[in-house]
Structure 1
Amino acid sequence: MYKLSIDAMSGDLGSSIVVEACEKFMQSHQDVELYVTGKAEELEKLQSNERIHIVDARDIVPMDAGIMSVRRKKDSSMVKAVTLANDGIVDGVVSCGSTGAFYTSAMLFLKRIEGVEKSCLMAVLPTYNQKGVALLDVGANAENTPEQLHDFAIMGHIYAKNIRGIASPKVALLNIGTENKKGDEVHQKAYQLLESENKIDFIGNIEGRDILKGDCDVIVTDGFSGNIALKTCEGAASILMKMIKESMMSSLSGKIGALFAKSSLYALKDQFDYKSVGGALMIGFEKAVVKAHGASDAKAFANAMDLAYQMVKLDVVTQMKEGLSEK
């Protein structure tokens, strides 16, 4: 039986969407036990399921919580969910709380994989060819060393191979040009390390304008650049959809055309919808750690839970340990 801890209180929409997500998730996952942390009275609907355990937690970690604040929030739903993983009671953790607070909680209360200097945050972005691409780091670290980027590449490769089912994932390094001598010293050395790594299929540098093409399966970057790239892509997609809508609604002919293109437009919108992805992975820890979007509805949160479930079921953490053990 696989076991997950679920932080029910930290999201923007409260515990009700988590309760709905848990009910939906358990209907299709008969091999899972959940430990749901939050105010017991808000989780009453889950008590009838014998595979769901309610862990009463009366506090919430605030969005701007620092290290000392997180340490003091021992009775918060987030810290209790992470502590359950640290104590070996569960195999993975899901939360839609603040990214910074959740990452801090994981850093304080979870062990990192041996040999991993820094864990990172990985998100899967939609691409033109509809394959999707894993981008890491997207904001867990302000800066990274070449060796850390090398570790990210291996972990991203293992994720793409085992979770996304890509036989030989293509790995690229985000840089300011495609030539191997481009970028600062960190990126030039990272290029050399990745080029000599026989565990991955490294295809070289990739520029920001090519992130969403889908020419590769994993893109490695430092957390500062990765966060800017992620939010730029999200913003551009949002504005583009808005411009298309406004353009079509600006004339009668456009409105008639929109009626005929309705299904295609909805398909495009769904392709860039974070709800279908579920969440981002905090990789490099001994347990599966999934960060759901702060504004997740029940569908998005259930997908985040499924991502954690797949990580645990396929034992991806162990495979990451093995992949990093011979570096």
Structure 2
Amino acid sequence: MKIAVDAMGGDFAPQEIVKGIELARDRYEDIEFYLFGTESKVKPLVKNWERMTLVATTEVIEMGDEPVKAMRRKKDSSLVRAANAVKSGEADALFSAGNTGALLSSAIFIVGRIKGVDRPALATALPSFDGPNDQFVFMDLGANAENKPVHLYQYGILGSFYATHVLGFDNPRVRLLNNGAEEDKGDETHKVAHQLMKSTAAFNFLGNIESRELLEGTADVVVADGFSGNAALKATEGTALMLLKQMKKAILNSGLKGKIGGALLKPAFKEIQKKLDYNEAGGAIILGVKAPVVKTHGSAKASAVANTMGQIRIMIEHNLIPDIQDYVSKHHDDLQSVKADLQNESESK
């Protein structure tokens, strides 16, 4: 397996990226890594070149760069060169911790969309606390600020397939993020999307879900428009981090007895913290493009980078992209049939 790595992308690049890749290299014996980056900055950091190759580049796409312009103008940037390596077949997958918009643009315009997918989406696995599985797939996380009903329907297919083939879930439960559980809630986009998803046999749809239920384990795949998904993700992450900080602060300010009690509960707190830590989960996947393209958090450290390499390894090993292509193609006619039925029903009213 060959993974193209944007070594210059991320808040702590290239140091933490290189450290993470070396951790992954020692952990996974069947992966080769191509590091795309500035030679003078990357080369001195590598301690062992086994199964690692440096591809020297002269430009870097910064976090503040306008995504599409940067992708088109900075042809010799580490990200664009890595994306082109995937497009040409020199590498099997693309990884970056850098500019999310530029990575999305590179994935769509360079790596290319899967036929039958109108809008690729950004997906990640979030913790699930009370359900049969310990995590769930959440998408779209901001690849598309606005979506049509058909896009949300396609996300149900893509997310369900990822949950089955990578996470190993059996008949994953798919739900639609909305501002109420009732079928008639939401704007016209979500009402139509609900009907499309309700009427399909392509996945196991169980109806709407509210954002307060996200971590309760009532869904294995949660579909959202990009704006709502991104807002819900950041609100959930921020709330979880703040609660952990406030609990720690309350214990430290509660006197000797409180501190003793906190010490006794420390293993339990550590377990919860680990479950909420993005460094453990890996990266966000751009589903709907012709190769695995994965984005980890901009502030990710070496452990997160290494864990993401394991995630990519599973995607390649399980033949995820070719199988998604076949699955999307197989259910294309099903979508057309559902849309026709809904149109006929609407006209008859």
Instruction: Please give the TM-score of this superposition, normalised by the length of structure 1.
Output: 0.96
2-structure distance, mates of 1:247, 1:294: 30
Q: Which residue of 2 aligns with 1:159?
A: 162
- Residue identity opposite 1:35 in structure 2: Y
The alpha-carbon deviation at position 280 of structure 1 amounts to 0.4
The alpha-carbon deviation at position 95 of structure 1 amounts to 0.4
Q: Deviations over 1:216-275 (max 9, x none)?
A: 100001000000100010011011111111111112121111111111111111111000
Instruction: Specify the SS of the correspondent of 1:211.
Output: helix
Q: Which residue of 1 aligns with 2:3?
A: 4
In the alignment, does 2:56 pair up with 1:52? Answer: no
1:8/1:201 CA distance change after superposition, 3 Å: same
1-structure distance, mates of 2:205, 2:6: 37
- Residue identity opposite 1:56 in structure 2: A
1-structure distance, mates of 2:268, 2:12: 30
2-structure distance, mates of 1:301, 1:32: 14
Q: Which residue of 2 aligns with 1:201?
A: 204
1-structure distance, mates of 2:322, 2:169: 18
Instruction: Specify the SS of the correspondent of 2:124.
Output: strand
- Residue identity opposite 2:270 in structure 1: Y
Q: Which residue of 1 aligns with 2:105?
A: 104
Matching of residues 87-236 of structure 1 within 5 Å: 87-129=88-130, 131-236=134-239
Structure with more helix by fraction: 2
2-structure distance, mates of 1:58, 1:214: 46
8 Å Cα contact 1:10-1:98 kept in structure 2:
yes
- Residue identity opposite 2:28 in structure 1: H
**Superposition CA RMSD, Å:** 1.4
* Structure 2 spans left out of the alignment, 5+ residues: 333-349
Instruction: Please give the TM-score of this superposition, normalised by the length of structure 2.
Output: 0.90
- Identical pairs, percent: 37
1-structure distance, mates of 2:164, 2:122: 18
8 Å Cα contact 2:163-2:220 kept in structure 1:
yes
Q: Deviations over 1:194-233 (max 9, x none)?
A: 1122121111111111011011100001000000100010
Q: Which residue of 1 aligns with 2:77?
A: 76
2-structure distance, mates of 1:70, 1:45: 26
2-structure distance, mates of 1:68, 1:259: 52
1-structure distance, mates of 2:197, 2:43: 47
Q: Which residue of 2 aligns with 1:37?
A: 36
Higher mean alpha-carbon deviation, 58-67 vs 3-12, is at: 58-67
8 Å Cα contact 1:62-1:101 kept in structure 2:
no
Instruction: Specify the SS of the correspondent of 1:83.
Output: helix
2:283 to 279, 285, 302: 279
The alpha-carbon deviation at position 3 of structure 1 amounts to 1.1
- Residue identity opposite 1:289 in structure 2: V
8 Å Cα contact 1:47-1:54 kept in structure 2:
no
1-structure distance, mates of 2:58, 2:153: 41
2-structure distance, mates of 1:248, 1:317: 48
1-structure distance, mates of 2:43, 2:18: 7
2-structure distance, mates of 1:214, 1:228: 20
The alpha-carbon deviation at position 22 of structure 1 amounts to 1.5
Q: Which residue of 1 aligns with 2:341?
A: none
8 Å Cα contact 1:64-1:101 kept in structure 2:
no
The alpha-carbon deviation at position 69 of structure 1 amounts to 2.4
2-structure distance, mates of 1:241, 1:24: 29
* Structure 1 spans left out of the alignment, 5+ residues: none
Matching of residues 293-304 of structure 1 within 5 Å: 293-304=297-308
8 Å Cα contact 1:171-1:200 kept in structure 2:
yes
- Residue identity opposite 1:49 in structure 2: W
- Residue identity opposite 1:55 in structure 2: V
2-structure distance, mates of 1:28, 1:301: 12
Instruction: Specify the SS of the correspondent of 1:124.
Output: strand
Instruction: Specify the SS of the correspondent of 2:25.
Output: helix
- Residue identity opposite 1:286 in structure 2: K
The number of residue pairs the alignment matches comes to 326
- Residue identity opposite 2:308 in structure 1: A
